[in-house]
Structure 1
Amino acid sequence: MFKNFIDNTDQYSVSKIELLDLYHDMVLGRNFEDLCAKMYYKGKMFGFVHLYNGQEAVSSGVIKALKHTDYVCSTYRDHVHALSKGVPAREVMAELFGKETGCSKGRGGSMHIFSAQYNFLGGFAFIGEGIPVALGAAFQSIYRKQVLQETSELSVTVCFFGDGTTNNGQFFESLNMAVLWKLPIIFIVENNQWAIGMAHHRSTSVPEIYKKAKAFGLPGFEVDGMNVLEVNKVAKEAINRARSGKGPTLIEALTYRFRGHSLADPDELRTAQEKKMWIARDPILRFKNYILENKLFSTEDLYKVEKEIKEILDECIEFAITSPEPNVNDLYKYLFADN
């Protein structure tokens, strides 16, 4: 069973292919977000854009442990979650540009990335909004097995949200229902220490969010969200538990966002000392050092991955810029499903 903290001496059950996949995904997420910032400040993107820099170990560690048939539900900080689930970078970038070729046909933008093809249930602008949606996805997985008698493997749903969300009603109601019906869902709290401009320890009577699980009767665990291997290990255990019909798990990943709440945030509330302390634990550099120190891959191997990602991002920017704008005559086109 789980431990509340994963010991650094543990042997991680990760193959070399998985290691490289995790590194690829984390570096892709970081560079994609840096490119978004560049495009935003150039006036290529509009509206609110919330970047994920610093939290890559959580997205990669959890989502890369899932199968294609599993579901992911995100928040307004959704770009990297979508990339981890397999949504092509070109489609995510085109969506951020508001183009017809975007994964939401240019209608969603930064906070509403969605892809039915990749079972990505979307980003949501309001906190807690996605949790009941994820609960519904987990319910239909159980319904297909128990009522429709489908023989396929039980699909798991992963729901991401921040520390600020855990003081809201949807969170508590959904935990209760998930346990009551033993739904195959994993609640991932990305505790990046700040809810917009409110420090986590100032907004909750119980700072250790994972302890809230006990009140509803599901397992709750805390993990170092800056260590992708630790996140991945806990996620795999929770996924196996959910898929075998044993019900939900709550995981609190302690992490940190390196940028402000959004690109419109001057980020003046957090101290320089606090930011410096967390940036020193950069999950990508930490993982890269682990790989090199243990001689799992060479510097040249990792450089090839980084070079490939640069090519992917160059192509996705070209694709986004040259893609057509949505046609005004299609304003109502996607309001209803086609027969």
Structure 2
Amino acid sequence: MQPLILAIESSCDDTSAAVLRGNEVLSNVVANQEVHELYGGVVPELASREHQKHILPVVNAALVKAGVDKKELDAIAYTRGPGLLGSLLVGASFAKSLALALDIPLLEVHHMHAHILAHFIHDGNAALPELPMLCLTVSGGHTQLVVVHETTQMEVIGETIDDAAGEAFDKIAKIMGLPYPGGPLIDKYAKDGDPLRFQFSHPKTDGLNFSFSGLKTAVLYFLRDAVKKEPDFVKENLADICASVQYTIVSILLNRLKQAAEQQQITTLALAGGVSANSELRRRFEELGDENDWKTFIPDFSYCTDNAAMIGIAGLQLFLAEKYGALGNAPSARWTF
């Protein structure tokens, strides 16, 4: 009998709960927090308050949708970190209380492990990746190249030394006057633009690491100078600017991924994290695989951004390995990989 696991995700501004039977998702409920749009970014204190409002109805909705009574659960998985501490505390406190009341194991999940392991959710259609696997994990807070040796054994071989790719998308969008979150809007407008209209240089970094702060500054100065000459420059050239910025960021990411795959001699490649929803990144990632005869895996859109189903599949690996958490373990905003 496959274990029934309730999973809870509250690392940032999305409150999510899911129920999994083995690696099959029975429900995956996500409550977004629109309040942050007013401030152009996530406000930690507001995020934690919203989690307190949402967590009980979200968990209840996940159980009802799955047709599962809480007494049937075999374990509870939750995001221990990394993330916003106030947000993590809400999810951790709820998970610990419920696990204690039901007298079932607690599973402490690393948020970035979960993004990667979302590829091992069984949806009845796609084949699961073979290991070892090289994963490019790209989100608002992280940009990493990770070798997945086993589902519970991963190694970071490259990461950003400053801004994450998702952060660069959002900050550049803000420079252009686009509302938060700006990353999806850049993707939207880029569809009608010329990606080669404006040229931006690639950063020079050691090894397999990334850097995006220089690109953000370059775009800032470029637009500042252009607007001095033409006040409506951004408005009149928005599609081309978005396409050029997106093309540059995606090129930086995939150039490093290709370099890593060749160095590691790994032919199974994957994308993970919120930015893996970007249409240009997905398209060119698949092209890279076709050109090199590599197997490529991209998560379903519902598993790209923060969600509890990915926490549940990561928790399943811990449950099967009997790596249980402890009630005394505190959430960690900077939990190392």
TM-score between the two structures when normalised by the length of structure 1: 0.27
Query: Which protein shows a greater Rg?
Result: 2
